[in-house]
Amino acid sequence: MYLKKLGAKMKKVGLYIHIPFCEKKCYYCDFTAFAHLDRWIEPYIKNLKREFSLYRQSLTLTIDTIYIGGGTPSYIDEKYISEIVNEVRKFPCEIKEFSLECNPNSINKDKLKLYEDLGVTRISLGVQSFDDLVLNNIGRNHKKDIAIRDIEMIKNFDFDLSFDLMLNLPGQDFSSIKKDLAYVKALDPDHISWYSLILDKGSRFYALNEKGKLELMDDDREVDIFNYIVDELARLNLNRYEISNFAKPGKESIHNKKYWDIEGYLACGLGASGFLSNVRYSNASNFVSYEKMLKEGKKPIVSREFISQKEREKEYIIFKLRQTRGINLEEFRKEFKADFLKKYKKAIDKFIDDDFFVIDDCFSFTKKGMELSNEFYLEII
Residue 326 contacts ligand SF4 per CB under 6 A? no
CA-CA distance, 283 to 289, in Å (whole number)? 10
Q: Provide CB contacts within 8 A for 354, sequence distance 6+.
A: 368
Residue 72 near ligand SF4 by CB under 6 A: yes
Nearest distance in Å: CB 255, ligand SF4:
18
Residues between 166 and 225 with contacts to ligand SF4, criterion CB under 6 A: none
According to the binding rule CB under 6 A, does residue 312 interact with ligand SF4?
no
Q: Is 71 in the site for ligand SF4 (CB under 6 A)?
A: yes
- The reply on whether position 74 binds ligand SF4 by CB under 6 A is no
Stretch near ligand SF4 under the rule CB under 6 A, chosen from 50-58, 67-75, 110-118, 294-302: 67-75
Spatial contact of 169 and 197, defined as CB atoms under 8 Å apart: yes
In the bound state with ligand SF4, the residue whose beta carbon lies nearer, of 37 and 338, is: 37
Map the footprint of ligand SF4 across residues 122-141, applying CB under 6 A: 126
The answer to whether residue 70 forms part of the interface with ligand SF4 (CB under 6 A) is: yes
18-26, 255-263, 273-281, 291-299 -> range binding ligand SF4 (CB under 6 A):
18-26
Cα 302 from Cα 296, distance rounded (Å)? 14
Does 73 interact with ligand SF4 (rule: CB under 6 A)? no
Please identify, among the stretches 19-27, 231-239, 315-323, 339-347, the one whose residues bind ligand SF4 according to the rule CB under 6 A. Answer: 19-27
103 binds ligand SF4 (CB under 6 A): yes
- Judge contact between 41 and 291, C-beta under 8 A: no
Residue selected from 13, 26, 294, 317 as contacting ligand SF4 according to rule CB under 6 A: 26
31 lies in the site for ligand SF4, by CB under 6 A? yes
Q: What share of the chain is helix, strand, coil (3-state, %, to 5)?
A: 45, 25, 30
Residue 179 CB-density burial (10 A; 0-12 exposed, 13-18 middle, 19+ buried): middle
The answer for residues whose C-beta is within 8 angstroms of residue 372's C-beta and 6 or more apart is 356
Which of 3, 17, 19, 29 binds ligand SF4 (CB under 6 A)? It is 29
Identify whether the C-beta of residue 181 lies closer than 8 Å to the C-beta of residue 232: yes
DSSP tag of 204: H
Asked whether position 33 contacts ligand SF4 by CB under 6 A, the answer is yes
Tell me the CA end-to-end span of the chain in Å, nearest whole number. Answer: 32
Task: Count the Cβ atoms, other than its own, within 10 Å of residue 111.
Answer: 17
Q: Which residues bind ligand SF4 (CB under 6 A)?
A: 22, 25-26, 29, 31, 33, 70-72, 103, 126
